[in-house]
Structure 1
């Protein structure tokens, strides 16, 4: 438990006020342990070539080795008495005892992990710690995602209180969705900067998110309500993209799909439970109580995360280790690879990374763009289809506002039912395809999308044509479960494919995905009511079904093209 708390906000505060005497790290408890964190090979490369990777070519390596071989001294760096003192002096300049290349070498001693089993490396955390952190990421995702749909339960009260049309009242939903589509474009790349990490982004934005619920609920006019709905969506958005990156931090690719699947269920639960939780509150107390509920839920989550959410970014963990070692040893030449990569990064560079990288990945990589477009369409269909639920279950089946929220449970049940067969598929089909290095061709993640693509039109046709007074209300609810099958399989295929294809930029590439799907989710509800009123439930749902059919070939085509041309869509340095 102390290891779990040590890297939390509370843990850092305790270490600060006790000057590091409590919740100590291993190297603080054992002052001799620090030498085991040093990487001799990377240090040699820094001395000879000025980078940790080594020479740019084999020819260059041979030429440099021939030139430097005569300059090598003893490579033994642990001794006794005067010899030990001399070797430790050499260590402060280069671990190999070699002279530093005066042209391009650097006087840097590289810090790395304590072997492949280093307990501080997130991939080596205990199963309990990984499961608990995954639960926290899922809770944070649910807490933010529910903020969109929970508002929709009070839309009619907003119409009455502010004297606006129903379409304008819907802007409170769409602006929130637009906010959490734009936010990750900034927050997610920032979380990849070693000096920042994931936790400051999560905790800092969540604090503001909770505070901003107060002026939202107390809005004195419609413009103020819309302004704060957008701001809360924007501020609360990091986990919607970075959550997947955090899960990727702690699970190896072979097991990551299981955790991403659970995270996907948490994302589905938000929009599904929002009308249910908000419906009864809005029916009893008005629309403001939906916002207060959101504040209480996120406030509870915030307290939990302050005490129990550790940092998951391996780059940030290694960076902070290096800072501690410099302080403990007084050797200022100790540095780690993430620190070296970021040391020349200016404020302008940070802004460019935050704004340009997600857009570049999204619009210049064909596979990324097409998959994001498909997911965006499904997300837009989800939100426009949700707008038909009041027309069906209140207008046709005469449900009350709170009871209408129960109709969304069919979607949740569908999401739960699809997990066992999907996990079985991962275990029996996907895992055996990993090579001995734990690697998998990213396109092997796409086959579940082949099935998921057909489930979406099945749901829309079933729901649209069974929603009539002569047919029991359970039939459209059963039909709605197919949307869960489709979205779960499509989202998990894409959200596992993207980090596999772009492991170094997982948060950025997922931010681009979130931006596109949220853009569609924000715009589609604005014309939902008019479309369903003009076309009717059956034909409006069928129109959406035909649109989803047009996109079914995308994963098939991308899979075929990727297998025929392996270099197509391969991740590049951005």
Structure 2
């Protein structure tokens, strides 16, 4: 991907006033300025929020689908003649594995065809293959359909952060990112709750058919609320429109648009280069992956805990996923209330100069809460105390996860504004691999160590990564960015 298009930075665009006459005189169609109504950051507030909500619901359906089958894994395995617990869990996690590949194609493709077309196309792709999962008759068919559905489902996770940054500036991006970040957290909550009652009262196949029906409704929302926000695509459209109006085919844009194959090649190479040369991305990607891995581990083990350990029915056991929703909403509420306020206060104290490290307080607090929630959950389950106690641990864990996710994603976007898509792709790669792998080793972890020490090991690892990383980035992040050829500024 070329530098101007990876994820748009509009700082230069805002430095001068847009002039249609000047563009026609020079023959070069320039980036949208602060007086240009086509500039996504100049959209009316209600249009921005409709756009943000639309992107968020596109991002929401995929995590719903990824976890919706969790309560019905045993029924699915029995019906399709799967022979092991690992194979059953693979039916869930192979969808997440595809997340590691989809962004490498859909991310750069959005720089050629725009955000909206790729969001809508990827949703239709997901819809077709997810529908096919409900008709699968063998494990091989199911795994292939499930993986292909995941390729489309992972696209909004890759495009969403870039799309949000298209329309919101740094001072007001926190609330929008909070809504967007909530989507992949609530998906693994609502999905299993619905999946538990669906599979209990009908069949596991309706898990896929019902989520496909939801994808149709989301496609309609996209047709109404999604408007193209990618600056390079809008610039190309403006050039074509002015060329048609004036009859001047010599007009050209100020940005070079690479062929898609070159963008895909760059998308595959640059994230690897960034994750191996940028300490900020390496540590952030590692911790993001760890958070998602534990989240999916939790999703797959909650039915075992409350149905097997506490003896609840399948449907009632699924209701315990509400704890993740409560914690996620609590984390979102605190983030929306304070994240932009913290950033603006620190900016004011810094001579009114913003700094990516001003996102670190959110990550530090979130890491501490996340770790505490894991300890609470593991020791409550192993002690077989009242069922509400491990739910409290899950609430704490989910609230901390929201704080960490939002703080880290905002930090990456602020640090690597121009190259944010590649940076987020690097993070998505580890995140997807962790989401795929953690549920597979969960049965062995808890059978060998039990819930008390198995979860404690996970908490100790979190303590060793998240809290020190936020302190190091707070103190030395500016120096690390100054040494980087990718970091903005």
TM-score, normalization by structure 1: 0.77
In 1, Cα distance between equivalents of 2:43 and 2:94? 39
In 2, Cα distance between equivalents of 1:532 and 1:386? 14
Aligned counterparts, 1:131-142, within 5 A: 131-142=49-60
Q: Report the CA distance shift for 1:360/1:565 in structure 2 as closer, same or farther (over 3 A).
A: closer
Contact 2:99-2:153 within 8 A present in 1 as well: yes
Q: Report the CA distance shift for 1:485/1:442 in structure 2 as closer, same or farther (over 3 A).
A: same
Q: Report the CA distance shift for 1:401/1:353 in structure 2 as closer, same or farther (over 3 A).
A: same
Counterpart selection for 2:327 from 414, 428, 433: 414
Aligned counterparts, 1:413-452, within 5 A: 413-434=326-347, 440-452=354-366
Instruction: Return the offset for 1:378.
Output: 1.5
Counterpart selection for 2:155 from 238, 257, 265: 238
Instruction: Return the offset for 1:179.
Output: 0.4
Counterpart selection for 2:405 from 491, 495, 498: 491
Aligned to 2:266: 353
**Are 1:176 and 2:89 counterparts?**
no
Contact 1:242-1:511 within 8 A present in 2 as well: no
Counterpart selection for 2:239 from 315, 318, 322: 322
Instruction: Return the offset for 1:433.
Output: 3.7
Contact 2:193-2:318 within 8 A present in 1 as well: yes
Counterpart selection for 2:77 from 144, 159, 163: 159
Q: Report the CA distance shift for 1:324/1:550 in structure 2 as closer, same or farther (over 3 A).
A: same
In 1, Cα distance between equivalents of 2:191 and 2:60? 10
Residues 383-441 of structure 1 show CA distances to partners (whole Å, capped at 9, x for unaligned) of 22333312221122211111112101112111212334333333432113447998622
RCO (CA 8 Å, sep 6+): is it higher in 1 or 2? 2
Aligned to 1:462: 376
Aligned to 2:309: 396
Contact 2:374-2:459 within 8 A present in 1 as well: yes
In 2, Cα distance between equivalents of 1:537 and 1:227? 33
Instruction: Return the offset for 1:488.
Output: 0.9
Instruction: Return the offset for 1:157.
Output: 0.9
Taking only aligned residues, the RMSD between alpha carbons, in angstroms, comes to 2.2
Q: Report the CA distance shift for 1:348/1:274 in structure 2 as closer, same or farther (over 3 A).
A: closer
In 2, Cα distance between equivalents of 1:516 and 1:273? 24
Contact 1:153-1:287 within 8 A present in 2 as well: no
Q: Report the CA distance shift for 1:214/1:438 in structure 2 as closer, same or farther (over 3 A).
A: farther
In 1, Cα distance between equivalents of 2:109 and 2:268? 10
Contact 1:38-1:110 within 8 A present in 2 as well: no
Instruction: Return the offset for 1:115.
Output: 4.6
Instruction: Return the offset for 1:468.
Output: 5.3
Secondary structure at the counterpart of residue 220 of structure 1: coil
Q: Report the CA distance shift for 1:111/1:564 in structure 2 as closer, same or farther (over 3 A).
A: closer
Higher helix share: 2
Residues 487-541 of structure 1 show CA distances to partners (whole Å, capped at 9, x for unaligned) of 1111111111111112122222212211111111101111111221232222221
Counterpart selection for 2:170 from 233, 253, 278: 253
Residues 236-294 of structure 1 show CA distances to partners (whole Å, capped at 9, x for unaligned) of 21110210111101111110111101111112100111110111001111211111111
Instruction: Return the offset for 1:565.
Output: 5.6
Contact 2:363-2:404 within 8 A present in 1 as well: yes
Aligned to 1:44: none
Instruction: Return the offset for 1:570.
Output: 6.2
Aligned to 1:130: 48
Instruction: Return the offset for 1:361.
Output: 2.4
In 1, Cα distance between equivalents of 2:87 and 2:461? 26
Residues 460-511 of structure 1 show CA distances to partners (whole Å, capped at 9, x for unaligned) of 1111111257521111101111112221111111111111112122222212
Contact 1:137-1:243 within 8 A present in 2 as well: yes
Aligned to 1:23: none
Aligned to 1:220: 137
In 2, Cα distance between equivalents of 1:385 and 1:314? 39
In 1, Cα distance between equivalents of 2:71 and 2:32? 53
In 1, Cα distance between equivalents of 2:169 and 2:352? 8
In 2, Cα distance between equivalents of 1:119 and 1:413? 39
Aligned to 2:68: 150
**Are 1:378 and 2:291 counterparts?**
yes
TM-score, normalization by structure 2: 0.90
**Are 1:560 and 2:478 counterparts?**
no
Instruction: Return the offset for 1:353.
Output: 2.2
Secondary structure at the counterpart of residue 369 of structure 2: helix
Residues 9-64 of structure 1 show CA distances to partners (whole Å, capped at 9, x for unaligned) of xxxxxxxxxxxxxxxxxxxxxxxxxx941446xxxxxxxxxxxxxxxxxxxxxxxx
Aligned to 2:11: none
Instruction: Return the offset for 1:328.
Output: 1.0
Contact 1:36-1:114 within 8 A present in 2 as well: no
Secondary structure at the counterpart of residue 69 of structure 2: helix
Greater alpha carbon shift after TM alignment, 551-560 vs 174-183: 551-560
Counterpart selection for 1:277 from 177, 190, 194: 194
Aligned residue pair count:
468
